[in-house]
Structure 1
Amino acid sequence: MAIVRQTLIYDGPGGPFEGVVAWEDEVETPRPGVLVCPNILGQKESDNQKAEALAKLGYVALACDVYGQGKRTTRESPDAGLYMNQMNADRALLRDRLAASLDALRGFGAVDAARVAAVGFCFGGKCVLDMARSGLPILGGVSFHGVYDRPDYANVPTMEAKLLICHGWEDPLATPEQMVALGRELTDAHADWQIHAYGNAGHAFTDTALVKPAAPGVAYDERADRRSWKAMADFLAELFV
């Protein structure tokens, strides 16, 4: 058995978009699909590696693109948040681009279109929450050290997607108070939700490029990374049973 990787170019508002899909080469029947939503920098190699890790768990994973083909930044860019800020300023457009990415995953030949989920990191965690908030057809979603501010459009009355929130207790971008407010929001939307808070971990705790902290409270944390991935694996296994 080997993991196959393929570039996937797809259409959407403001596109084209370019992602990478990964799956086991021995897949003979449709498998559950998982959308991987990147952080502030946009689609990149570390997201492709997350897609491959999900493929090893038996899923077909698409590391998606919501910025547009060729629109990427790095930590060394003069404005690393350029494209993220554009999406934060137009959450309806972000929602529509997430819908296009989800359609690309669901339309991929190896995917069971009725059994899809999403995971996201940092800004991508916000993307996962917005997918649930807007009622996009995912069975569930996992937010890793996400950002919790609500969009400027109304949530669906009932969030059908089950949610796992993996939260660093010391995250300066998502304080404990904001985490509690998110719990109240999800309860008001009748969601099936759970929050795992990791002590002594901050923002970006899954990002191995940040072994040296990028800023106070923004750093990789091996224990939170390992524990949250295990929690995600258990969550997806239950979701797709």
Structure 2
Amino acid sequence: MTGTLTRAGIPLVLTALIATPATAAIQTQEIEYSVQGQTHTGYMAWDDSVSGERPGVLVVHEWWGHGEFSRDQAEKLAEEGYTALALDMYGEGKHADHPEKAKEFMEQASSNMDLMQARFRTAMKSLQDHDTVNPDQIAAQGYCFGGAVVLNMARLGMDLEGVVSFHGSLGSPIEAESGEVEAAVRAYTGGADQMVPAKQVSGFVQEMHSADVDYALRSFPGVQHSFMNPEADQYAREFDMPVGYDQHAAETAWEGTLRFYDGIFD
């Protein structure tokens, strides 16, 4: 059973255990939370064989919306000893089945940065309140649209230990300012990504450098957009999109992210 209550406009999250993955120690919960009167769906994953509090990681979905890919990433993080929440940036668990609808959802969400920040912050509070989480040790990682989201949350100075962008847009109407970015920033991009061109990459590097951000960027030569998602090849065939999964880039980026978390949460 799931549900949402609000008191004085503040969301109260009611959760229910709905599934247990193949690894018995990994537990998952689907949760619902309210942001400005709209219901959002989240997916929490953690390892109940790990004792005590641990860092929490927010997982922000691609432009398709909250779905199996972001949930799988949350479970992978749980297997590494983190508690992860795959959040919902669109509301009502929206998930597109066509690029035109995905673009519509993304543009709607991106048009209101205050609302986007409220959605992120509410999900972050849900993660911090989980019994297994150290509320002072929170990071965020995002894919495609989600990569842009976590970078923007860092630019806005949110209290995060670190953020990781996987094939996310590196340009933004928000510009990082010196001394304002608290999070360490890591970005992985494809050298052949038509959605994140070289000019955008160089602009991001200059922005991070000028704002004195703890950042690193890795570009994989010849790799296309959505290289982390095994379904990207199917999207390329079905919709004639310039995207593609790359196993080497995906594994390298994942391993680098785990080393990054080991460092910031040490």
Kept in 1, the 8 Å contact 2:163–2:186? The answer is: yes
TM-score by length of 1: 0.93
Pairs within 5 Å for 1:175-214: 175-212=197-234, 214=236
Q: When the two structures are aligned, how many residues end up with a matched partner?
A: 239
**Aligned residue in 2 for 1:51:** 74
Note the 1:1-20 alignment, pairs <5 A: 2-20=25-43
Contact 1:147–1:173, Cα closer than 8 Å, also in 2: yes
Q: Distance in 2 between matches of 1:51 and 1:223?
A: 20
Select 1:95's aligned residue among 111, 117, 138: 117
Shift of 1:156: 4.9
The residue type paired with residue 218 of structure 1 is V
Alignment of 1:75-86 (within 5 A): 75=98, 79-86=101-108
CA separation in 2, counterparts of 1:210 and 1:68? 23
1:124-183 superposed Cα distances (whole Å, 9 cap, x missing partner): 0001101101111110010000012213x5645421100110010111111112111011
Q: Does 1:239 align with 2:264?
A: yes
Are 1:224 and 2:249 counterparts?
yes
Q: Which amino acid aligns with 1:221?
A: D
**Cα displacement (A) at 1:17:** 1.2
Amino acid at match of 1:223: H
Bigger Rg, which one: 2
Given that 1:66 and 1:101 are in contact with CA atoms closer than 8 Å, whether structure 2 keeps it comes out as no
* Alignment partner of 1:167 out of 174, 178, 189: 189
Aligned to 2:85: 62
- How big is the alpha-carbon RMSD for the aligned residues of Structure 1 and Structure 2? 1.6
Task: Kindly indicate whether structure 1 or structure 2 has the higher relative contact order, using CA contacts under 8 Å at least 6 residues apart.
Answer: 1
Q: In the TM superposition, what is the alpha-carbon distance from 1:92 to its structure 2 partner?
A: 2.5
**Matched-pair contact (CA < 8 Å) for 1:201–1:217:** no
Give the partner amino acid of 1:36: V
Confirm or deny: 8 A CA contact 1:170 1:217 kept in the other structure.
no
Gaps of 5+ in 1: none
Q: Percent identity?
A: 32
* TM-fit CA distance, 1:12: 2.0
**Separation (CA, whole Å) in 2 of partners of 1:70 and 1:117:** 22
Q: Which has the higher strand share?
A: 2
| Equivalent in the alignment of 1:27 | 50
Q: Which runs of 5+ in 2 are unaligned?
A: 1-23
TM normalised by structure 2 equals: 0.85
Question: 1:200–1:216: structure 2 CA closer, same or farther, 3 Å change rule?
Answer: farther
TM superposition shift of 1:66: 1.1
